[in-house]
Structure 1
Amino acid sequence: MSVFSILVKLGLWQLDRAEYKQAWQTTLAERQAASALDYQSLLNLANNDPVTGYRLTVDTIAVSEQILLLDNQVHNGQVGYLAYQLVKVSESQPWLMVELGFVGANKDRRILPALTPMPNQPYELTGRVYQKQTNPLSEALYAETFSMNNHEVIRFQNLNLVALAEKVGHELAPAVLQPDVTPTMTLAKPWTPIPLSAQKHQGYALQWFTMAAVFLGLMLWIGFKTLKKSTHPITK
């Protein structure tokens, strides 16, 4: 019956994840409805708690025309990149990473998307912030640097902000801003703070419980047949 026990535990685990995701969805909705934070408030919060979903309004200026490309992203079935640019709020504070949006990738990886970065001028940006969980199996940056159209492009594999800060040589805020409107760009902005919804987990739980029920029924049927043979042996 160990298999039955494992199947039931897997179903219960999925229900627990569904409950967590439902609570997280409620939290995100509350954060979206709240007033936008200022930059210092965001930094203070991020020191102790996750900040995904909070809204932020900030006056910035582009640090440079360097484009950052997060590799192996998928949007509407298309493989590509999430493009970013760094901005600063003040000389004494960490730089902020701003998402420019999703751009499709060429089949030839040597050909990078032609993007025009935000010019080095002041911007007031408003949007939502997010943090991506680091994959413990693959958290390295694996950065590659290219020169393209008179500006530098860095392609990297994981949104590891600590490692990226070392790469660019300046402290970065521990969250990324996805602005409602990006100056000079109209790229799509995927928003998936919860990769698997509570409903998905509930569906998986039902599958595990169904498998457990089928397995239990099969074991009971085999047990019944075995008992029947032992109590009514076949005689010749």
Structure 2
Amino acid sequence: MTPQQPAPRMKAIVALVLLVLLGAICIGAGQWQLRRAHEREALLAAIETGRRAPAQVLDAQHRDGPDWHPASTRGHWLNPFTVLLDNRNLKGKPGLWVATPLALQDSPGTAVLVLRGWIARPLPPATLPDLRAASGVMQVHGTLLHRVPRMFDLGSLTGQPDTALPTPFPTADGQPPRMQNLPLAALAAATGLDLLPVVLQQAPTEDAALIQDWPGPSTNASQNYNYALQWFSFAAIAWIAAGITAWRILRRASSSSTA
């Protein structure tokens, strides 16, 4: 009797190993989706807690606060240090965020960066309107964040992110620079200001025809739970197939030994 060729058995063993690995990878992907769901649930809880919290007052002595909490401060706008944040869409329409530091009334050398609002990106030959904020001491209300919300920047993959402000700043022509992202450290270095470690996302108000409609972070945890269920289902299918393959290998081995 001709002995069984090893090739089919080896192929079955390789298939078994691959199926087990595939199932493990799917389990890992499902667990990652569960972690993302928990992170989004925690974020949603923090946002809701912040919205219910009493407003904080920012000044030279009270420089910080939790994300998503309401806050207010008094001071005057530093219009020459305005920066435009590009690629900020609103309801599918391309536009810009206008960010201007506000020098605190009780400490003029100290400032907080305020995201003042959104404006549509003008199509050439149109130009931007006058974006200068009102002069004098202003009371500004908004929501606290610890950084300007970031957009994906291809430069971050090459080690050259789009975060450099022009030199000198303000520019000679007085036009606000456009950037993809704006770290607070970069603005502080370019302006010499003592910036608070928070950003104030301005509440709806009349300010140079800007729109204060801020997109929040995604908090849809149910989507992640659905993805996790799909990955766990794929893992179950892979491991069931692995079990069937293992049973066939053992049956063939038993048949060969009794032949």
TM-score, normalising length from structure 2?
A: 0.72
CA contact (8 A) 1:65 1:119 kept: no
2 CA distance for matches of 1:27 and 1:14? Answer: 20
CA contact (8 A) 1:64 1:120 kept: no
The Cα offsets for residues 53-83 of structure 1, whole Å up to 9 and x where unpaired, read as 0111211211225431112223322333211
CA contact (8 A) 2:165 2:186 kept: no
Q: Of the candidates 62, 83, 102, which is equivalent to residue 118 of structure 2? A: 102
Equivalent position amino acid for 1:191 in 2 = P
Q: Of the candidates 199, 205, 226, which is equivalent to residue 222 of structure 2? A: 199
1:57 is the counterpart of 2:72: yes
Match of 2:10 in 1: none
Distance change >3 Å, CA 129–CA 156, structure 1 → 2: same
Q: Of the candidates 35, 50, 53, which is equivalent to residue 54 of structure 2? A: 35
The Cα offsets for residues 171-208 of structure 1, whole Å up to 9 and x where unpaired, read as 2222211222333334142231x335322322332232
Give the secondary structure class of the aligned counterpart of 2:176.
Answer: strand
Give the secondary structure class of the aligned counterpart of 2:215.
Answer: coil
1:123 is the counterpart of 2:138: yes
Match of 1:210 in 2: 233
Aligned-residue RMSD, C-alpha: 3.2
Give the secondary structure class of the aligned counterpart of 2:142.
Answer: strand
The Cα offsets for residues 138-196 of structure 1, whole Å up to 9 and x where unpaired, read as 65513357979x7431212222110111122312222211222333334142231x335
CA contact (8 A) 1:65 1:118 kept: no
Total equivalences in the alignment? 225
CA contact (8 A) 1:63 1:120 kept: no
1 CA distance for matches of 2:179 and 2:126? Answer: 15
Q: Of the candidates 207, 211, 219, which is equivalent to residue 187 of structure 1? A: 211
1:165 is the counterpart of 2:188: yes
Residue 10 of structure 1, CA deviation? 1.9
Match of 2:129 in 1: 114
Residue segments in structure 1 that go unaligned for 5+ positions in a row: 46-50
Residue 28 of structure 1, CA deviation? 1.8
2 CA distance for matches of 1:208 and 1:111? Answer: 50
Q: Tell which structure's C-alpha radius of gyration is larger.
A: 2
2 CA distance for matches of 1:219 and 1:191? Answer: 46
Equivalent position amino acid for 1:82 in 2 = W
Residue 232 of structure 1, CA deviation? 7.0
CA contact (8 A) 1:141 1:164 kept: no
Residue 33 of structure 1, CA deviation? 0.8
CA contact (8 A) 2:70 2:142 kept: yes
2 CA distance for matches of 1:106 and 1:52? Answer: 32
Q: Of the candidates 195, 201, 211, which is equivalent to residue 178 of structure 1? A: 201
Distance change >3 Å, CA 188–CA 179, structure 1 → 2: closer
Q: Of the candidates 4, 8, 11, which is equivalent to residue 30 of structure 2? A: 11
Distance change >3 Å, CA 197–CA 86, structure 1 → 2: same
Equivalent position amino acid for 2:74 in 1 = D
Match of 1:22 in 2: 41
CA contact (8 A) 1:118 1:183 kept: no
Distance change >3 Å, CA 57–CA 222, structure 1 → 2: same
Give the secondary structure class of the aligned counterpart of 1:152.
Answer: coil
Match of 1:48 in 2: none
Identity of aligned residues (%): 20
1 CA distance for matches of 2:115 and 2:129? Answer: 16
Distance change >3 Å, CA 113–CA 11, structure 1 → 2: farther
Give the secondary structure class of the aligned counterpart of 2:56.
Answer: coil
Match of 1:143 in 2: 165
Residue 99 of structure 1, CA deviation? 1.4
